[in-house]
Amino acid sequence: MKLFSATKIISAAMLFLLLAGVSARAASGDLKLEAQLVIGSNDTKPKDAGLKPVASDIGKKLKKLPLKWDHYYVVSEKKFSVGNGNTKKTSLSTQCDISVKNLGDQRVELTLASKGQNVGKITQSLHKGQTLVAGGDADNSIVVLRQAD
């Protein structure tokens, strides 16, 4: 006796493939991001001994920028995923909040907030390998945003 007819098996397989395709499509629109709060310093060692230097690839990029510091240390780091059209808010410190909106096509809108007040908004593409660095308020803190590996 047959448990399942061929029609049922084929239909179930089609449904499975369809759902898998939709899931893959939905997942493909997600952006996996990595945000770091980094402080710049001209001291070879940070004032806070607990801080670690930024990753070498980020360090190289930061050193190429026309900033006045030579050394960069990670204060905090957050990894998160933002769905297409969605916004993710996260705090990098008690005074620094960011909000990232996934605009699709690997474009993001980064909103920077300091001490609870919005500082500004940056909209640009953020493909793998691209890095967005934002700072302000005459502070030595900067936010580094890029796609997570």
Partner 1 sequence: MSEEQQLRLQAFLDGELPESDAREVLAWTQRDADAAALLTELRNTRAAIAKSELHLSVPETREFYWSKIEREIQKLEPVEKEIAAPILNWRRLLWPLGTAAICFVVAMMEIPRVNIVQPVAVVSQDTDETVVETDQANSDATTYRDEADGTTLVWFSAAADANPISGKMPGAIN
- Contact of 42 with 70, CB cutoff 8 Å: yes
Confirm or reject binding of residue 23 to partner 1 (CB under 8 A): no
Beta bridge partners of 38: 74, 142
- Contact of 112 with 134, CB cutoff 8 Å: yes
Question: What tokens appear for 17 in the block?
Answer: 């493939």
What does the per-residue mask of binding to partner 1 show for 69-108, with x meaning CB under 8 A? x---------------x-----------------xxx-x-
Confirm or reject binding of residue 25 to partner 1 (CB under 8 A): yes
Place of tokens 């500082």: 119
- Give the residues lining the site for partner 1 (CB under 8 A): 5, 7-8, 10-11, 14-15, 18, 22, 25, 40, 61, 64-69, 85, 103-105, 107, 112, 117-125, 127, 129-138, 140
